[in-house]
Amino acid sequence: MLRLLGLVGDVHAEEQRLARVLDFFASRGVDRVAQVGDFVDGMGSDAECVRQLRDADALVVRGNHERWLLEALPSLGGQSRRLDASQLAWTAALPTTRRLATAAGEVLLCHGLGEDDMTLFLPRHGPHELAANVALNALLEADERVVLAGHTHVRMVRRVATLTVINAGTLYRKDRSNCTLIDFVAREVEQWDVHEDRAPTFASRHTF
């Protein structure tokens, strides 16, 4: 049962930032690391990011960028210039969602929202956008309570009715890079800014 989780958003091949985050999580004594997908496609090394996530025994789900890569493989002769055969097989075996047993109950790990890896759910979305969000409403109807997601690159802790969505943000250098610590005992979320040249720095704390 998870008590303290290190959550990583869309990595997009930022291997140096990912290494700093994994070191930071280790220093904080997390029970496990989870990652919400889109670890490939960026200016760094896809292969190194896969290696780091595998070495960390991270709980990883597949995002839309991994799906696009796998869908393109037949036209690429089954090979990728950025991942070797073993790394491709590991990526292909990843689920689109995972259920995590935590001290706060079961939570859902995904990329977008649930099985939809492309849906948008943002802090600025109001009642009309929420009502039209099919994936969000499916989670509400399924009585999900806590969802850990990514995709938008916008970190967020937002409650809609009985559902709390924690968006892990991103490590992508062109956006605000961050990582997240979730204490399921205290029911607290800490967001930390991630930097290229130094350890993460505290940004904000939220309850859920």
DSSP letters spanning 130-173: HHH-HHHHHHHHTT--EEEE-SSS--EEEEETTEEEEE--B--T
Of the CA atoms within 13 Å of residue 152, those in its CB half-sphere come to 19
Total domain count for the chain? 1
The confidence score (pLDDT) of residue 118 equals 98
How far apart are the C-alpha atoms of 144 and 165, rounded to whole Å?
10
Positions in the chain short of pLDDT 70: none
Q: Which CATH number fits the domain that encloses residue 40?
A: 3.60.21.10
Residues pairing with 146 in the sheet: 164
**According to the model, what pLDDT value does residue 159 have?**
98
**Helix, strand, or coil (residue 53):** helix
- Which range of residues forms the domain containing residue 89? 4-197+200-204
Query: pLDDT tens for residues 181-195?
Result: 999 999 999 999 999
